Amino acid sequence: MIPAPPSHAFAPRRVPLAHGWQWVLQAFRLVREQPLTWVLFASSYLLLHIVLGMLPAIGQLLAIMLAPVFAGSFVLAAQRADRGDTLRPGDVLAGFQEFARPLIGLGLSYFGLLVLTMLLLMLALMAMLGGMHDPEKMQALPLGKQLVGMLLMGGGLFVASLLYWFAPAAVVLAGFDPLRAMRRSLAGGLLNWQAVLLCGVVLAVLLFIALLPAGLGLLLWLPVMFVTVYTAWQDVFGDGLPQR
């Protein structure tokens, strides 16, 4: 495993807003060079989630624990592809070889923080409603308060997403432990929130398009989404955008 870096290592830098689009574009170019292997990776990931979805209760917990491990595997594969290496089917499990423990810890830590964020947001909304969580009462609120509630919920979830966005890459490429990885991810995300938001919008639009042909587009969208984590990390924390 990569030795733990000092606290000042991998400081984030600010990048232009347009780089949010460039992250996706560069990820697509990396995937396009070896499409069949990336589709195989995506198929394996989707198959695992289908199997876990058949398990009551425990399946959801396992999916949460394993999602960062696969994210780390895709990031490591993207790094190999960026170096010009030929990917192998076994690379989809690269995250399990050296980084399973910290990546599983990342999944559990992030899940706990997400639950805490949701509880805090619910408490804030209940305070706006006078201590009662009543949908009818919420609809009766003035439009201004409804908008404040929506912005509060959206802003809270966006900040929570920033805690995770760079975190798998921080674990496998920089050797951070789960909590430090999330702190570094939040620092890079807040510094470049406009680019991250643009990237998220682009990925959301592409997801909608991917779902149109009976969902088959997911086999391409998933690798692009995961590889975008790598291209974004390289731009904000590494040597800059990959040049393909």
Within a domain: 222: yes
pLDDT of res. 106: 94
Q: Could you tell me if residue 244 is inside a domain?
A: no
Question: Within 13 A of 33's CA, how many CA atoms are on the CB side?
Answer: 18
Cα–Cα dist 16/48, whole Å: 37
Does residue 114 lie within any of the structural domains?
yes
Total tally of structural domains belonging to the chain: 1
Quote the pLDDT of residue 64.
83
Between the two ends of the chain, the Cα-to-Cα distance in Å is 29
Cα distance between residue 100 and residue 102, in whole Å: 6
pLDDT of 141 reads 59
Q: Running along the chain, 244 residues long, what does each successive block of 10 average in pLDDT? A: 61 94 96 95 90 82 87 95 92 89 92 82 68 57 64 77 93 94 94 95 94 85 96 92 69
Angle (deg, nearest 10), helices 167-174 and 100-128: 160
Side chain identity, residue 18:
A
10 lies in some domain:
no
Q: How far apart are CA 7 and CA 224, in angstroms?
A: 30
The one-letter amino acid code at 173 reads: L
Q: Which domain holds residue 220?
A: 19-236
Is the residue at 3 inside a domain? no
Q: Tell me the residue type at 35.
A: P
State residue 135's pLDDT score: 58
Residue 6 lies in a domain: no
**Does 192 map to a domain?**
yes
Can you give the pLDDT at residue 40?
Answer: 94
Please check whether residue 90 lies inside any domain of the structure: yes
Q: What is the pTM of this model?
A: 0.85
